[in-house]
Structure 1
Amino acid sequence: MWQAVASVVGFLVHQVSAHGGALNYTVGETWYPGYDPYGPEDQVTAPWTVQRKWVTNEPIFEANNISLACNTPGTPAVTSIPINAGENITAVYGSWVHTVGPMVAWLADCGGDCRDFDTTNADWFKIGEKGLLWGTIVDGMWFQRQFGVWDGTPSSWTEQIPASLRPGNYLVRHEIISLHSANKPQWYPECAHLEVKGTGTKFPGKEFMAKIPGVYSMNQPEINLDIYDPAVGERTTYTIPGPPVWTG
């Protein structure tokens, strides 16, 4: 049933403006429909909706914007994606055209039913991040550039749920930070509900945790930068801000 629903919803993507976001998710061969900001309003109560509501593919520009957690308005999803610790989850984007900046995947423990979870109380930890692969900041190969597909097919971003993670209900947050506009970073976050299963017993310590908003600021040189300034753009390294990735 999931596959049948997703085969219809999963490819109803919109080639609109120069932005985008995660529209669907896959675990193994199973598709899970997310929320389409340009689709019907009844998605928010549809029994298959696993993603928190977001109403536009326009970016968030403020590091302290409350919507940075799960986009605007971040209304909780109806159901969750079942996944075993150690399995991969893939976020599927209808299109992506930006090329510079990091991509970070986060989890937050809902401490119960994610439908009742307020993200202002969330402690987030990274499970994956992808940045500059080679070359310079301005002209090099970022994963974000590699991730964008120009032939009309969806773009896919895969990360692993740590195998030792304790079972529970979690939010997964996929975040793209685009840095192509000088001193004007753009955030594109989406969140989905997960039901993590397995026999793991581990959970990250405080050194891996961050608040969102809170983890980023315009005082960070990795966030507030001008890639067209040769002193910046010709660098061959970029440090993704925030805590280290927790792998279990």
Structure 2
Amino acid sequence: MRSLTIGSVISSLVAGVFSHGHLVSVVMNSASYTAFLPVATPDFTRAPPSIVRRIGGDGPVLDISSKDITCNFNAEPIADNGVSRTGPVTAGSKIDMIWNGWPHSGPILTYMAKCSGDGGCGNFTGREGNAWFKVDEMGWDATTEAWATQVLFDQKFRWTFTVPACLTPGEYLVRHEIIALSDCKTPGKCQFYPECFQVKVLGSGTTDVEAAARVGFPGAYKKDDPGILWDTNSRNPEDYVMPGPKVWKCPA
């Protein structure tokens, strides 16, 4: 165990300057979509119009049993005249998510959910039933001896994941999240920063994710989960257990 890393020192110093964070943009299939910036709102409709759901602020969600844990405060489906607004992304390609910065230590997780029902993602909140499957995660990285958020810092606040190549084409909601572990030692004080954006997966995949691999938001996390109730000051980061389900993989 290495109790103090360069990353933890940086995180502690930066935390004294600012304490919250949010997405700035999402890049996929050579297009860049501006996120809804709660501290300096851009033109949310400029080309290409944003597919990132609006959030109510740059602060954390604390109540994991509330609807806010799904996509953040006041995040609702985006539609234009009843037609869902999505960005095209090819199955098997990468999506880059750029943050404004990040001061805390913690894991980074990404989920996807197929937008079911009439209206596609323009009418799909993501809050009903078990719709979400995990496609990417990083907690404590033993190779670099750093939390995922330090890796994010080193990558100039850019995080990348690959859309599973086998996915059936259609509209999906992506849920990207950072968990700030600084106050997780106290039940109900863990800080969650989820954001969602609407995509249309293109390709020739034929796989629909099985029900056993899907979870609900709210519902996927519990206050006493080992990856939620966590004391960064006393626990060995190598013992950290990622919350939620296992990362879903395409069938071999």
TMscore range, shorter length: 0.7 to 0.9
Pick aligned residue for 1:141 from 134, 142, 146: 146
1: CA distance, partners of 2:95 / 2:127: 24
CA distance in 1, matches of 2:47, 2:227: 39
CA distance in 2, matches of 1:55, 1:41: 14
Residue 43 of structure 1, CA deviation: 2.6
Q: TM-score, normalised by structure 1?
A: 0.82
1:81 aligns with 2:87: yes
Q: Deviation string for 1:2-28 (max 9, x for gaps)? A: xxxxxxxxxxxxxx8311011211115
> Could you tell me which residue of structure 1 aligns to residue 213 of structure 2?
208
Per-residue CA deviation, residues 67-96 of structure 1 (Å, 9 max, x unaligned), is: 000101012234211001001001110111
- Contact 2:110 2:177 survives alignment (8 Å): yes
- 1:43 maps to 44
Structure 2: which amino acid aligns with 1:93? W
**Unmatched runs of 5 consecutive residues or more in structure 2:** 1-16, 80-84
Aligned AA (1:228): N
In the alignment, does 2:133 pair up with 1:132?
no
Instruction: Look up the equivalent residue of 2:32 and give its one-letter code.
Output: W
Query: In angstroms, what is the RMSD of aligned CA positions?
Result: 2.3
Long gaps (5+) in structure 1: 1-15
State whether structure 2 residue 180 is matched by structure 1 residue 178. Answer: yes
Name the residue aligned to 1:20.
21
SS of residue matched to 1:210: coil
- Give the letter aligned to residue 37 of structure 1: P
Query: Given the superposition, is the C-alpha separation of residues 36 and 154 from structure 1 closer, same or farther in structure 2, using an over 3 Å criterion?
Result: farther
- Displacement after TM superposition at 1:64 (Å): 0.9
Measured in 2, the distance between the counterparts of 1:200 and 1:135 equals 33
> Is 1:38–1:55's contact at 8 Å kept on the other side of the alignment?
no
Distance change (3 Å), C-alpha of 1:42 and 1:135: closer
Structure 1 stretch 79-88 or stretch 25-34: which is displaced more? 25-34
Deviations 1:98-127 (A, max 9, x none): 12x221100011125211112222510001
Residues 160-200 of structure 1: CA deviation (Å, up to 9, x unaligned) = 00000000000001011111123231100000000101000
Q: Indicate which of 99, 106, 115 corresponds to 1:110.
A: 115
Query: How many pairs align?
Result: 223
Q: Tell whether the 8 Å contact from 2:61 to 2:193 is kept in structure 1 after alignment.
A: yes
Runs of at least 4 residues of structure 1 off by over 3 A?
39-42, 44-47
The aligned residue for residue 68 of structure 1 is 69
> Structure 2: which amino acid aligns with 1:119?
G
1:76 is paired with a residue of what secondary structure? coil
